[in-house]
Amino acid sequence: MLLPKSNTPRWIVVVIDLFLSLVALFFAYVIRFDLKAEADVIKEEWEILSKSILVYVGVKFFVFYLFKIHKGLVRHTSTEDLRRIFFASITSSLLFFILGLIRFHFIDEYYLFPTSVLLIEFLASFMLLLGLRFSIKLLYLESMKVKRSEERVLIYGAGISGLITKRTIEKDLASKEKIVGFLDDNKKLAGNRLEGKTIFHTSKLEKMLQEDGITRLIIAIQEPDNNNRKRIAELCIEYNVTVVKVPSTKSWINGEFSSKQLAKIKIDDLLGRKPINLGEDKIKKELNKEVILITGAAGSIGSGLVRQIAKYGPAKIILLDQAESPQYDLQNELRSDFPNLEFEVVIGDIRSYERMKNLLATFKPKFVFHAAAYKHVPLMESNPSEAVLTNVLGTRNLVDLSVEFGVYKFVMISTDKAVNPTNVMGASKRIAEVYAQAKNDLGKTKFITTRFGNVLGSNGSVIPLFQRQIANGGPLTVTDERVTRFFMTIPEACQLVLEAGVMGDGGEIFVFDMGESVKIIDLAKKMVKLSGLELGTDIEIKITGLRPGEKLYEELLAKDENTLPTHHPQILKATVRSADDQHIVMINDLIKLFRTQDNMEIVAKMKAIVPEFISNNSDFEKLDKHD
């Protein structure tokens, strides 16, 4: 039955409160006489009590009005109302005691009420007044709940965050969710109950998904084990169960969590690995109070490096990029998030030798993190001269100037596409690696190269593309059903770059553990499900065919390369062919070919420098020798 939604008149609240108080007084006398009082005793007590009833009602009315306990909306009773009722009840009892003393000493030598009655009446009236209010509140909350088909919800995490999540959902008037129970990795908690809800071990999840009609799972663990989270999320996706997560406590509003803050999990949550343990002390020792130059600072990896390095207290970070608007955005972000960070925003192009020379001469950085590059395979396949100009000439400028100005370490960001390259972009990055290696022993600068695969959420990557295509209703475009790629998050990639930069002695190419490669078509299917859509009904996947220069499978090592372990389990060191002066000559000749704008001649020279560069699905296949 629905309760009336209009406010109850105040006089009715007052009358009910006074009536409950009289009930409490009657109850106190019943308890005092242990339910066995004889008629003459009752008559005697009534003679005394009858002279006190009007005083009782008058005092209660006066005190209740004084404390305004009738003012609050009964259906929204709060702890503030509890406080008022408590003090009103105890004040009334004190007044009865004082008036009783006055009556005893100055009127008829009788107290208003026996002391035992006062104590029992205080407790009874307090509980009745409070109990009625909270009963009405509970009835109101139930009556106001939207009567829709219920969602059966499991909460993953039986800790504090999970408990807060349960309470928040149950408090939400508009919620149509019914908490079925908690899910937890701790076997010792299995079978216990938390606020009336059973805790199940995660091994029971699939059975529950099959039999209990679970429609939603909430990840309420603040820092869950990545493998467990991935396994649970993928199982839920398989059974078309929506998965959402509680945000970080930092984003809670005024320290309180709202059910509206629940967010769908992202594809990153299904691709993450074990947390990376960094040598924080070593990194801080190297970077603290040093001047650091980051090229491509406004890009995905560059800006990620800026955020990571800012935590280690550098003397100054030089942010170099030719993209004006992204630089402006990064500048504003740093001023907000790192108000004490010293940084300099430099608009410039790494292809300009004079601009780069002035930059290094002015700031004299000790570390250079080189993240500026062209990276899109199809675009570079159509514009090899630009790939050479930026990825090769730009790197040569920075490498040579780093030697000239005594940079301590130069860390180059490379790519898995540099391994057995099948496209111009990958070959240009491999050539840049070779140039840096060849210069390693010609000065004091230590040149270190880091290689990794695709970065989740980076500019122009497949994840934002799929997100846009889903938002537009599809189709999602996949080049080939067999295509696989390695993936890593931006923070992971940047952390490993810093770790490799610290451990490197110069000349190394570090390869990161990218985990298992992922089929792009499987990635697309998961993103469709995470969006709450049904493949084939709401949206389609379209196979478009391999693009020029595109590989089916990415590699992290070339055929003639092996790996050696390092002190960090997620970083390996590649043993590669040595680079020499002849390579430098050939690379300089390649750069000179820019003037010709002859794509075939430029790519032929690239293949001479990188013999393993065999074009795939490209016009440049004719340059390869075929048996």
Where in the sequence numbering do the catalytic residues fall? 417
Radius of gyration of the chain (CA): 37
Q: What secondary structure letter does DSSP report for 589? A: H
The whole-angstrom separation of Cα 613 and Cα 623 is 10
The DSSP bridge partners found for residue 413 are: 450
Residues 6+ apart with CB under 8 A from 116: 28, 32
Residues 6+ apart with CB under 8 A from 65: 14
Residues 469, 475, 479, 480, Cα dihedral to 10°? 130
The whole-angstrom separation of Cα 412 and Cα 449 is 5
CB 476 within 8 A of CB 539: yes
DSSP assignment string, 434-482? HHHHHTTTSSSPEEEEEE--EEET-TT-HHHHHHHHHHTT-PEEES-TT
What is the token pair recorded at 554?
A: 């990415």
Three-state secondary-structure class, residue 536: coil
CB 377 within 8 A of CB 423: yes
CB 286 within 8 A of CB 314: no
Whether the ω angle into residue 548 lies within 30 degrees of 0, i.e. cis, is: no
Residues 6+ apart with CB under 8 A from 117: 25, 28, 29, 32
Three-state secondary-structure class, residue 58: helix
Query: Is 553 exposed, middle or buried, given 0-12, 13-18 or 19+ CB atoms closer than 10 A?
Result: exposed
* CA-based nearest residue to 380, from 419, 338, 344, 424: 424
CB 504 within 8 A of CB 452: no
What is the token pair recorded at 266?
A: 């992202």
CB 26 within 8 A of CB 56: no
